[in-house]
């Protein structure tokens, strides 16, 4: 069988959420947008609910409606994009809580769904989503009179603990929300790790739950194991892969594995990347193509039938470093061709 295997350890995932929850010492939500960072909302969200999560966050209303069908009525589902045109039926029927980002969204929400719960998202300096200070000042008393479920903002540089932007955004968020009765939320994974000043009433961890940085104590969640299709001996002067970018300098045993950029194995990581066969690191040779990758298995004793790209010893952030990206992209790029299996949960 040439299909690669993607394994997801739900016990490790829940342990990561519980560890971040313990650090927060507040209510702790869970971010499950983008199909739970590519790992499958239908399996991840129930496991997190069983672990104790009662507030979930998604990017768009369509995700929220799908999550409601999965989890049922007993959790709160918050939508970062707020109330968009065309969302009325989804928000109403799935009982979603839109995080209102503008005066226009506020007007749309109260006119189309009067009395329906909502939250507020504020721009504390990231300039991405949320009401800016002047907009919030104009709307604040009206919005607070309707008892928003949550008032939140988002940190731009929380993965860099010493970055001045963290304190700048904290001060801005406090200035915009000081004295309000509504629960407040500023921190995802990185903000949780910045300390209690950033925790407020709710935190909303994402990447750390899935085993990624900046949560260095996270347990690995994902394994990716790719079968070998063919092994050959390559002589000095011969090349491997498209473009002749790798040429053998000595006799080399090369395994061709059944994976490539169509599976979310980013082409950009090829020049730096390794896989593992047991404890042996094996270099990727040449370019990563759509379905196939060449691997140097010269130092491996015996036949090689499978290699591991993600494992306990090689996580998503290592792959991200090789590709010049971040762990989020590695996770959310994982393709649909894998045979997925779940343990625990």
Question: What is the token pair recorded at 49?
Answer: 């609910």
Q: What is the pLDDT of residue 61?
A: 98
238: left (phi over 0), alpha (psi -120 to 50) or beta: beta
Q: How many CB atoms lie within 10 A of CB 138?
A: 12
Boundaries of every domain in the chain? 10-210, 222-343
Residue 164 near residue 155, CB atoms below 8 Å: no
Q: What is the pLDDT of residue 25?
A: 85
SS3 177: helix
DSSP E strand stretches across the chain = 5-9, 27-28, 30-31, 55-58, 76-79, 97-100, 119-121, 151-152, 184-185, 202-203, 222-234, 239-240, 246-247, 252-257, 274-277, 280-285, 293-296, 306-310, 339-343
Q: How many CB atoms lie within 10 A of CB 134?
A: 8
Distance from CA of residue 307 to its chain's centroid? 24
Q: What percent helix, strand, coil does the chain show, rounded to 5? A: 35, 25, 40
Question: What is the token pair recorded at 91?
Answer: 């928000």
Q: Which pLDDT tens digits describe the chain residue by residue (345 residues)?
A: 689 999 999 999 999 999 999 999 899 999 999 999 999 999 999 999 999 999 999 999 999 999 999 999 999 999 999 999 999 999 999 999 999 999 999 999 999 999 999 999 999 999 999 999 999 999 999 999 999 999 999 999 999 999 999 999 999 999 999 999 999 999 999 999 999 999 999 999 999 999 999 999 999 999 999 999 999 999 999 999 999 999 999 999 999 999 999 999 999 999 999 999 999 999 999 999 999 999 999 999 999 999 999 999 999 999 999 999 999 999 999 988 999 999 998
Is residue 261 among the annotated active site residues? no
Catalytic residue among 33, 37, 261, 274: 33
Q: What is the pLDDT of residue 235?
A: 98
Q: Please name the fold of domain 10-210.
A: TIM Barrel (3.20.20)
- For residues 189 and 141, give the distance between their C-alpha atoms in angstroms, rounded to a whole number: 30
Q: What is the pLDDT of residue 180?
A: 95
- Whether a cis peptide bond, with omega within 30° of 0, leads into 214 is yes
- For residues 218 and 208, give the distance between their C-alpha atoms in angstroms, rounded to a whole number: 6
Q: What is the pLDDT of residue 296?
A: 98
Sign of CA dihedral 162, 165, 171, 173: negative
Q: What is the pLDDT of residue 295?
A: 98
Class of domain 222-343: mainly beta
Is residue 283 among the annotated active site residues? no
Can you name the residues that pair with 120 across neighbouring β-strands? 100, 151
- For residues 123 and 168, give the distance between their C-alpha atoms in angstroms, rounded to a whole number: 12
Catalytic residue among 95, 242, 328, 342: 242
């Amino acid at each position: 069988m040439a299909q690669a295997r993607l394994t997801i350890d739900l016990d490790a995932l829940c342990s990561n959420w519980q560890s971040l929850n313990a650090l927060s010492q507040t209510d702790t939500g869970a971010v499950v947008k983008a199909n739970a960072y590519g790992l499958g909302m239908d399996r991840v969200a129930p496991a997190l609910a069983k672990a104790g999560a009662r507030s979930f966050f998604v990017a768009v209303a369509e995700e929220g409606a799908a999550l409601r069908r999965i989890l049922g009525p007993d959790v709160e589902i918050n939508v970062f994009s707020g109330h968009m045109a065309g969302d009325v039926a989804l928000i109403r029927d799935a009982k979603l809580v839109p995080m209102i980002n503008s005066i226009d969204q506020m007007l749309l929400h109260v006119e189309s769904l009067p009395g329906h719960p909502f939250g507020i998202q504020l721009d504390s300096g990231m300039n991405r989503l949320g009401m800016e200070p002047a907009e919030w000042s104009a709307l604040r008393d009206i919005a607070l009179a309707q008892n928003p479920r949550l008032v939140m903002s988002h940190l731009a540089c929380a993965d860099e603990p010493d970055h001045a932007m963290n304190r700048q955004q904290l001060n801005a968020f406090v200035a915009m929300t000081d004295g309000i009765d509504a629960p407040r939320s500023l921190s995802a994974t990185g903000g949780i790790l910045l300390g209690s000043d950033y925790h407020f009433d709710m935190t909303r961890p994402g990447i750390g739950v899935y085993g990624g940085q900046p949560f260095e104590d996270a347990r690995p969640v994902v394994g990716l194991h790719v079968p070998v299709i063919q092994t050959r001996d390559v002589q000095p002067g011969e090349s491997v892969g498209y473009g002749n970018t790798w040429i053998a300098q000595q006799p080399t045993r090369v395994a061709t594995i059944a994976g490539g950029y169509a599976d979310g194995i980013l082409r950009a990581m090829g020049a730096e990347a390794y896989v593992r066969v047991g404890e042996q690191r094996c270099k990727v040779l040449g370019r990563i193509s759509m379905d196939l990758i060449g691997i140097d298995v010269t130092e491996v004793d015996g036949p090689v039938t499978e290699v591991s790209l993600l494992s306990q010893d090689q996580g998503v952030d290592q792959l991200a470093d090789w590709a010049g990206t971040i762990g989020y992209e590695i996770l959310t790029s994982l393709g649909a061709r894998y045979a997925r299996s779940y343990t625990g949960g």
